[in-house]
Each structure stands twice: as structure tokens, then as C-alpha cells.
Copies of this chain bind each other. A is one copy, B any other.
């Protein structure tokens, strides 16, 4: 009769609660006990819906895969499709910063993961890529995307001008910067002009897409 009775615990509800905790409390503070509390239950009850914490993480990662915009196999503008795919991945992973670094390291790929990779391969194959080349093409793109997000993730600022300020702090903390003249150059330039992740990301993505042809 109470609302809690009407909505019995499911894997989906456990994952949703964990996702929200990761989102607001920070990923590292995500514990079985806290997920359980968020869902109104004792920690041990979670084990009825999830094999263990590792399985819970697998589930979370697959939720994130589900948010990626999959490319359309057969899209005549395959480069456009790949570009949209990449930008969608970046947007989603910036929303779930904790997920970068987990995405490609899960051992058991979930259904959304499979769906997404299938669509990517399909789009490349139908665009005329030979099998091996399609593997190469998706591999280099994904490596770039995940690696870029890895760099972007750690940064405690959002706008170019904030970046300038952070750079200044960092510079002040390092003794004897004269040993690193080229780094000094980067930092002073950055502090002046800021750093724009959008154009930086687009630069590398375009470079890679320019080098790919069926």
C-alpha cells in the first residue's frame, strides 16, 4: 500500500539510484550501502538484483552506452554520421565524467554496448569500408575520443577564462620553472588566450576523419 510496496526493487531501479549517486555525490563515494539507502533498503538486498559491485558498474556503463547517439548504417554522409557520433559521445561522457576510463575496461559488454558497436561497424561497412579497414577506422576514432575525454575529465574549470586562472595557480606552485622553457611558453600563452576544448576536440577529430577513406 505504501509507495514502497507498489514499486518493488528491480535491477533498473538499483542502477538508476546508483547513477544519480555517482552524478551528485561523485563516483568515488558510490558504495553498496549508500545505493541501498537511496533505494530504501539494506545493503544486502541489492545482491538479489546485482551479482556484486562489479556487476553494478557493468550495468552503469551500459546505461551510459545507451545514451550515445548511434550512427545510422546506410547513412550516405558517413563522415557526418561519425562526427555526430563522436560529439554525442563527448557530450554524454562530459555529463558522466566518472564513466570515462570505465567504458572500455569492462569485461562483460552489455546490450547497449553491443548495439552501439554494431551500429558503428554497420555504418562503416555500408559506407564501403573493407572489413579490416572498418575495424581500423572505428578503433582509431574511439581511442581518440576516449583519450581526449580522459584529458578533459580531470579539469576543474569549464570556460577558457577560468582555465587561464588555474594555469596561473599551477605555475606559481612549480618551483624553478625555468628548467621547462617550452612549458612556460604554453602556460603563458594559455593564460592569455585560454584553452577551448571544443575546437581542440574538433581539430583532432577532423584530422582523423580526413585520413579515413573507404
A105 close to B (CB within 8 Å): yes
A142 close to B (CB within 8 Å): yes
Cβ < 8 Å to B, chain A residues 88-132? 101, 104-109, 114-115, 117-119, 121-122, 125, 131-132
Residues of B within 8 A of A119 (CB): 182
Instruction: Name A211's contact: one of B109, B114, B132, B211 (CB within 8 Å).
Output: B211
Cβ < 8 Å to B, chain A residues 169-212? 170, 173-174, 179-183, 185-186, 189, 200, 203-204, 207-208, 210-212
Q: Please give me the residue from chain B that is nearest to A115 by CB atom.
A: B180
Bound state CA distance, A91 and B115, in angstroms? 32
Contact between chains at A106 and B154 (CB < 8 Å): yes
Q: Please give me the residue from chain B that is nearest to A145 by CB atom.
A: B147
- What 6 A-B pairs have minimum CB-CB distances, sorted nearest first? A147-B147, A140-B204, A143-B147, A118-B180, A121-B182, A143-B148
